[in-house]
Chains A and B, each alone.
Chain A
Amino acid sequence: MTATDPHRATRAVEAVWRIESARLIAGLARMVQDVGLAEELAQDALVIALEQWPRSGVPDNPGAWLMSTAKHRAIDLLRRRSRYERKLVELGRDLAIQEATEPDLDTALDDHVGDDLLRLIFTTCHPVLPVEARVALTLRLLGGLTTNEIARAFLVPEPTVAQRILRAKRTLAKHYVPFEMPAPADLADRLSSVLGVVYLVFNEGFAATAGDDWMRPALCEEALRLGRILAGLMREEPEVQGLVALMEIQASRIRARTGPDGEPVLLLDQDRRRWDRLLIRRGLAALAHAEALDGGPYTLQAAIAACHARAVSAADTDWDRIAALYLVLAHVSPSPVVELNRAVAVGMAAGPAKGLEVVDAVRSERALANYPQLPAVRGDLLAKLGRLDEARQEFERAAAVTRNERERSIFLGRAAACAAGSPAA
């Protein structure tokens, strides 16, 4: 142990918390069968660490220190809560037995760590919770984010997030959601809920719709971290690998997708030399693994993203393959938005007339009624066909529908160009 100055020690405690908190909460939740109580106990251990470590130094095995401290707190706390009396007896007995029969407690805990973390993420993403509660609880318990950080990221008042988390814990308790892995028959649905939460967090960070500037890239990183943790715990789940591949490849473009004045730079106009090669390499490796496991929609989206990642320049893009992948995606996971993306790819691969056929087939879909990309895509294809007046109308419609100012100015620019007789912006 090394004693250091208090501020440095406090930051060191926070760093350890960041690394250990999810495993700590997960291990405690298995013991007490209540994630809310588990978090309280873990927090208690953190408070004790913040008091002691600045004086005594960070212990050699901080994770084990926090766990044994929290376990002692568990016994204290349960003792004080009369309604837990019976539980206390059981728990006390269980702990006594465990400590007697498992002298090497650290090893015993390590064996459970992976399983506990999975149980925790399946619990925080449980379908009994509303989606925004799943997101908040997951970021809090698995990401170790504070209520304030979550509130800043999602542009909601801090008390709202605190309420969401509190209500989520109550809902889990009220429905007696057990702290365990889903039954095999439920696994696919439950996993899709988990992956949905992770991807939602990623997109919240990736799409420049709302949120504190500082927290947006942080959300992408958080989602990637959760994805990487899942990928390590569920090596053989194709869609886990597929989602991680998709996020790694999309995140590789973060540096290139904003221009010097903060304006968005579209994929085909990005300076590809600024793409993060390490993330592309990791993404392609995860994709290869996912494809070998016969992955689904996330894997297909990752495969499409990979086509762009592999193209040295925009002109080298394999649009035939992208159009084919969108066709498969449309079969596996049909949606008007997928069709719209397919229209773009078909337009690039087989010419604007073919692309327009695909757009026109979904033009009347109600889901696309106020979706600015529908008129924007149609306008682009019409412009390429030289039907400039129709194209102008579509871009004007797109500008009227979008809620993003920067996007609106791009659409109005295209409309003006069409009016001036130019098919390009």
Chain B
Amino acid sequence: MRYLILLKAAQGTTPPPPELMEAIVQLGEEATKAGALLDTAGLAPSAAGARVQLAKGELTVTDGPFAEAKEMISYALYQVRSKEEAVEWASRFLKVHRDHWAGWEGDADVLRVFGPEDFGPPA
């Protein structure tokens, strides 16, 4: 099964400590070497992005930042055998934040990605 982990947090006023970045790189390497992490990247603040909306048949494009209280910080795509395994990796990711960035708060949403098992008959 594949899971997408989306990290969300309030837009920080200070950049993340270098120790955190190093710990994230190490955790990523560990997850890659465990054969679990397929892809991951950080996301720039929504101020650098835009939103395309469809409402009442009309398309509108609005430049960021978005009004939400929390910004998307990063995504990671995992290949695992259970939701709990994805949850465990997400927990390790948040623990790294707890250990290296005092006071930081955020959410990691763990979402299952549809796979071959969700379409048609079993392969």
Contacts and interface: CB of A to CB of B under 8 A. Distances in A.
B121 A12 contact: no
B82 A278 contact: no
B70 interface: no
Interface of A: 11-12, 14-16, 18-19, 60, 114, 208, 213-214, 216-218, 221, 224-229, 232-233, 254-255, 257-262, 278, 282
Contacts of A12: 84, 87-88
A25 B35 CA distance: 17
B51 interface: no
Contacts of A217: 116-117, 122-123
B77 A216 contact: no
B116 A15 contact: no
Nearest to A260: B120
Given A221-B79, A282-B38, A254 B87 contact: no
A395 B74 CA distance: 54
B95 A19 contact: no
B122 A16 contact: no
B123 A216 contact: yes
A262 B120 contact: yes
Nearest to A62: B88
A254 B123 contact: yes
17 contacts: A11-B82, A12-B87, A12-B88, A15-B84, A15-B85, A18-B81, A214-B122, A216-B122, A216-B123, A221-B79, A221-B81, A226-B35, A229-B34, A229-B35, A258-B123, A262-B122, A278-B39
Contacts of A14: 82, 84
Nearest to A212: B122
Chain A interface SS verdict (over half) = helix
A50 B115 CA distance: 31
A260 B34 CA distance: 34
Contacts of B81: 18, 218, 221
A322 B88 CA distance: 43
B56 interface: no
A227 B35 CA distance: 8
B35 A19 contact: no
B33 A232 contact: yes
Contact of B123 (A11, A233, A257): A257
Contacts of A260: 120-121
B11 interface: no
A19 B122 contact: no
A301 B7 CA distance: 38
A278 B85 contact: no
A232 B87 contact: no
Nearest to A15: B84
Interface string B104-123: 00000000000111011111
A226 B122 CA distance: 23
A300 B17 CA distance: 45
A233 B33 contact: yes
Nearest to A18: B85
Contacts of B116: 217, 254-255
A19 B123 contact: no
Contacts of A258: 120-121, 123
A225 B87 contact: no
Nearest to B39: A278
A19 B38 contact: no
A229 to B, nearest CB: 4
Given A208-B123, A216-B123, A15 B34 contact: no
A232 B89 CA distance: 18
B36 to A, nearest CB: 7
A416 to B, nearest CB: 26
Contacts of B33: 114, 229, 232-233
Contacts of A208: 123
Nearest to B29: A232
Given A15-B84, A229-B33, 17 more contacts: A15-B87, A18-B82, A19-B89, A60-B95, A114-B33, A213-B123, A216-B122, A216-B123, A217-B116, A217-B123, A228-B35, A254-B116, A255-B116, A258-B120, A262-B122, A278-B77, A282-B38
A261 B122 CA distance: 10
Nearest to A214: B122
Nearest to B33: A232
Contact of A15 (B35, B88, B117): B88
B11 to A, nearest CB: 27
A60 B88 CA distance: 11
B32 interface: yes
